[in-house]
Amino acid sequence: MTLTSPPGSADTAAPPTQHRTGRWIDDWRPEDEKFWDETGARVAKRNLIWSIFAEHLGFSVWLIWSVSSAMLLAQGFEFTPQQLFFLVAIPNLVGSLIRVPYTLAVPKFGGRNWTMVSAALLLIPTLSFAYFVNQPGTPYWAFCVIAATAGFGGGNFASSMANINFFYPARLKGAALGLNAAGGNLGVALIQFFLPVIVGGAGIFGLVKASEGGIHLERAAWVYAGLAVTAVLAAFFFMDNLSNAKSPAKEQLQVLKSKQTWVMSFLYIGTFGSFIGYSAAMPLLIKVNFWRQPVPDVAGIGINFVFYAFLGALVGSMSRPLGGYLADKFGGARVTMVCFGGMILGTLGVLWTLSLLETLPPPPDAAALAAIKADPAAFSYPDAVQSAVDANTDVFPLFLGMFLLIFFFTGIGNGSTYKMIPAIFRTEAERASTPNTPERDAALLAGTKKASAAVGIIGAVGAIGGFLIPITFGSPWVTDPLSATKTAFMVFAGFYVVCASVTFWVYLRKPHPAKAHLSYAGVGI
């Protein structure tokens, strides 16, 4: 679709449209209020809706291993906690690395076209998972490869956010990007909520009982493969490409030279890296510290992770649009600063609850497990195990509450940091140009392109936190899972203190009068 009235023409009330191959829009002026009210808002909203759907699907596939890895044991595979934590970490690493090329693909191929391609790529991790999870002889390394391809879903976020950034005016970017991101983040919660039920396990706070036929993990993969096809078709029929979003890769990568790109990348590790890392690790954290079930045929005791694991991602997803709204109202840097303060308090609260836990006795060795499998009815939990599990179950509500507090502030911080990115580059464009001139219009468009490119870089670096967090929880040098968990949260608390300090020093501190024109404080960032 082409909006044919050229910029600056008198007839801009309702630009005539015509369709051409690829659904390209040649005239796009979101900062023009008349254009926006009569044409732009409707088109932008339609693209935002289907962008949210595609990104939501990508996040679901990206985090499919966060729950399924904990269920591999019930399917007959035997992996250690360290191996399982590594499985949930691999997609996050791949997802972070491919975010840069995914971002560069939007200006090169068009947002609609790339949404189709990125959705189609999700068939690789879903279909391969559906096949190999039913092969009892599948080696661990094969699951690692399949988990790596799930990282394709993580790349969808960067391209989706870069695309939507072009559609909306500056005054609405925080809310639009917040909604787009929240829709994607919500995919994490929904995959963790529905996957146990889809595959035949217990779920929905115990209201749904486990199927007598056992666990069938391939069912979830088939469902999401079908949704991937739906996303391709939806993008084909309902989304658009923007001609003015085109930009050579070399030009986009100029943002690598900007100090602000790397400062924001560091802060995004603290917000989004925490969100995605905790989301991936939370099911296993609950399973390792609060649940005991030696074999599937024996009733488990303690807290079943499938009942609660989705809550963290749900809280973080729902609070993200609020972060964008608050950033639009009060400034992204101020909101981000408050968020890191909240994450510090939440992390200290989690550490306090962990100090109340008892270390669970080690699980049965291979010989004991074989005996239990041979005669499950004769098995009973040792008193030491039962006592420790019961004691930890009493602490779980405190642990969950503190953990959800962290998730809440990660969501707020995700929204506020993404408001800061376009605001930073817009501010730089305004300082480098004169108001009400063609140079200002060109500078603002260039700033938008830089911001969209920066979204990919910042998203890529930030998502690395999603890899590091599960790895830290599964530290091979700490044999006791509870000790590893405590150590990890102490490291994270210290990191959030550094993030808060950087936010204040770079964006909120009053500058020296001679350098006031270089400061970002007080300009809405």
pLDDT for residue 127 is more than 90? yes
- Condensed to tens digits (0 to 9), the pLDDT of residues 389-444 reads 999 999 999 999 999 999 999 999 998 987 888 888 888 888 878 787 888 878 88
The Cα–Cα gap between 180 and 455 comes to 13
pLDDT for residue 15 is more than 60? no
Nearest partner of 417 among 277, 271, 275, judged by Cα: 271
- Condensed to tens digits (0 to 9), the pLDDT of residues 354-401 reads 999 988 888 787 788 788 888 888 888 999 999 999 999 999 999 999
- Helix (H), strand (E) at residue 132: helix 123-132
306 token code pair:
């499938």
CA distances, 62 to each of 124, 148, 153, 238 (Å) = 12, 9, 5, 24
> What's the predicted TM-score (pTM) here?
0.78
The Cα–Cα gap between 169 and 6 comes to 18
Give the residue extent of every domain in the chain.
Answer: 2-360+384-518
Overall fold of domain 2-360+384-518: Growth Hormone; Chain: A; (1.20.1250)
pLDDT at 246: 74
The Cα–Cα gap between 36 and 314 comes to 32
pLDDT at 514: 47
Band (16; pLDDT cuts 50, 70, 90): very low
pLDDT for residue 234 is more than 80? yes
pLDDT at 211: 65
The Cα–Cα gap between 323 and 312 comes to 16
Which of 283-297, 454-468, 503-517 bottoms out in mean pLDDT, i.e. has the lowest? 503-517
The Cα–Cα gap between 217 and 77 comes to 12
- Condensed to tens digits (0 to 9), the pLDDT of residues 37-93 reads 999 999 999 999 999 999 999 989 988 888 888 788 767 777 877 788 888 889 988
CA distances, 364 to each of 28, 242, 390, 503, 520 (Å) = 64, 60, 19, 48, 58
Instruction: Report the share of the chain in percent with pLDDT over 90.
Output: 35
CA distances, 173 to each of 161, 168, 441 (Å) = 10, 6, 17
Classify 24 as helix, strand or coil.
strand
Nearest partner of 231 among 346, 360, 119, 380, judged by Cα: 119
Classify 302 as helix, strand or coil.
strand
* Residue whose token pair is 């939440």: 346
The Cα–Cα gap between 402 and 271 comes to 16
Side chain identity at 524, as an amino acid letter? G
Classify 201 as helix, strand or coil.
coil
pLDDT at 18: 45
The Cα–Cα gap between 373 and 60 comes to 33
Torsion of CA 487, 491, 493, 496, to 10 degrees: -160
CA distances, 503 to each of 167, 268, 270, 343, 411 (Å) = 28, 11, 11, 14, 17
